[in-house]
Amino acid sequence: MDSFATGQLLDFIGDIGFFLLIFLLLHLFLLEQLSGSIRGTLCLLHGSLTVSHSDSQPRDEGGQTLQHPAKAHKPIKAYIFSLYRQYKNKKQIIYIMRYR
């Protein structure tokens, strides 16, 4: 096996490892969001959260609107994709410099 094929194989293994890491982090984050939404539901059932009937948004005791769990992960997803773009750009620059 020549060095070019070995380099491609290592790049492929690195890509798979990167996606597995992102997959794991995303699932841990979503599990945390799920447990938070379950806690929010339990608090709502016990009356520690009040719901305004005018806009039907759950609010805490101070009157602050609580963020919906489905909207909470969007900044994290954008951050993960920006990390991936940076990773791919660095990899392409190294590849160009190595094989010039």
DSSP H helical ranges for the chain: 3-46, 69-72, 74-98
What pLDDT was estimated at residue 53? 42
pTM of the model: 0.33
pLDDT of residue 55: 46
- Count of domains in the chain? 1
* Structure tokens that stand for 9 in this block: 């194989």
Q: List the chain pLDDT tens, one digit each, 100 residues.
A: 567 778 788 888 888 888 888 888 877 777 666 666 555 555 555 554 444 444 455 555 565 665 555 555 566 677 777 777 777 777 776 666 666 5
Q: Which domain holds residue 31?
A: 3-98
